Amino acid sequence: MFDGLWTKGTAFTDEERHEFRLLGLLPTAVKTLEQQTEHSWLEFSRYREPLDKHIYLRNLQDRNETLFYRLLRDHIAETMPIVYTPTVGEACQRFSEIYQRPRGLFVSYPDRDSLREVLRNRPQREVDVIVVTDGQRILGLGDQGIGGMGIPIGKLSLYTLIGGIDPARTLPIVLDVGTDNVELLEDPQYLGWRHRRIGDDEYYAFIDDFVTVVHEELPDVLLQWEDFATAHALPILQRYRDKLLTFNDDIQGTAAVTLGALHGAARVAARPLSDQQVVMLGAGSAGIGVLDMVHRQMVSEGLSEQQATSQIWVVDINGLLTDDRADLSPSQRKFAQPADRVAGWGVTGPAHLADVVHHVEVGVLLGLSTAAGAFTEEIVREMAAKVERPIIFPLSNPTSRAEAHPAELDEWTDGRALIATGSPFAPLQRNGREHPIAQCNNVYIFPAMGLAVTAAQATRVTDEMMRAAAAALGEASPALADPDAALLPAWSDVPGVALRIAHAVAVQAVADGVAPDRNPDQLRQRIDEVRWTPAYRL
């Protein structure tokens, strides 16, 4: 009755009510799952505020997971923005205020000597996927401390909804290593450890202890890193990616979904990536991750490593990345342009985005900067004057941090821009038609990745597996059939697309030697066998 994973609520049949001694504990009427879903949808629709809808869905998930996922499946377009971005951002900010029931594991630094006990207290013994965050860089909202738990909970909901990962085999985790958010530290309602974030030496030792325990207790689990600060995200990924089944969604997932959208955009523009000058505004871990994959794609299309690098321009808050800057990390320095290449531009001080667009024939403009409005009318119009189909992706989220709004980009380019965003936006209205805007949401990638590695029994996540996911997503672009259509599939089509992506990734895992040898038909059968669907099983 009260186990959210197994209950059927009012759908228990008369026979089951006798068998499980439930007679009298439920109202007389016996409902079907479809009737329960209809009732829950009416309840959901009564709430006006997105956060209230989010709270309702979380309560439903705690009460009846099968019904929760059936409701989401039947209303993907309406519930996705509530379960995850953008509403999950507010849910993280107000996590302590709206907290009602525990879900997942709270791994606190003060419990560092008891990590094995903490992990062994997990609700379910067998786990296929863990999503873990330390809450330091939640979306574009910054340090949310323990409130970051909302992200792993939301992500794993999508692993199940889209990828078909059994919800009983998922585990959200937040690493509570303190917070530097003064408002949280001074908030009497805050549920986390009231302490400034620990220093890097203690931090990396704690991460190492956590990974060791996870790997020993759950050696086959997929461990996804989520919303870690730039300074920590890449070092953590590099440290563990060759030691266990793991990936960072902000770095690799963002890169794959962006490349998938670029595949479609480049085809519509009739100009491959290898023939484009690409500019990225933002040099954090996500931006550099996207460019790593773009670079590999350019090389796969025939460019040398050096040629591909020369066609990629990166601008951060201090200006264009050039090789005479002393403030660059090794991953950023890889994309630094030679200083003498821009010396003749006549720019006083560092070159900025407007300077790059002015002096370079930019075909692709990407933004992962969280700098709202950074793609100005002047910059966009100058770009559009040089190329027939400018590709412009303001990818920062939440919506308030977007570098530009699609309606502005459409106006400034006379409807020629190929647009994808990081946050959801309303369709464009042009010539009496609606034009949906593709959202480069990682949900196109990570659920399929989880399904692929689970079905294929992969031991690692390789770069080529991510590129296979991007290519499969690109092949599903509606814009390939209609240039005025969105660059990415509609939400209602995502579960079906995820199956195709998962199969492509599984095949690549076998080709990369990180999964047992199976042919494509056997992998397709394995995917069908492990994929969970929301239906009562008793």
What are the helix and strand counts (H, E) for the chain? 23, 14
463 known ligand binder: no
Dist. CA 18–CA 207, nearest whole Å: 49
Dist. CA 185–CA 193, nearest whole Å: 9
CB 333 within 8 A of CB 297: no
Dist. CA 165–CA 454, nearest whole Å: 8
Dihedral pair phi/psi, residue 110, rounded to 5°: -60, -20
Give the side-chain half-sphere CA count within 13 A for 405. Answer: 9
- Compute how many other C-beta atoms are within 10 angstroms of the C-beta atom of residue 194: 13
Cα–Cα distances (Å) from 410 to 23, 280, 386, 493, in that order, read: 61, 20, 16, 25
* Residue positions annotated with a catalytic role: 84, 155
Q: DSSP code of 196?
A: P
Helix (H, G, I), strand (E, B) or coil at 489: coil
**CA torsion through residues 82, 84, 85, 89, sign:** positive
187 known ligand binder: no
397 known ligand binder: yes
H or E element in which residue 209 lies: helix 200-217
CB 55 within 8 A of CB 95: no
* C-alpha angle 276-279-280 in degrees, rounded to nearest 5: 135
226 known ligand binder: yes
Binding residues for (S)-malate: 137, 397, 441
Binding residues for a divalent metal cation: 226-227, 250
Binding residues: 137, 226-227, 250, 397, 441
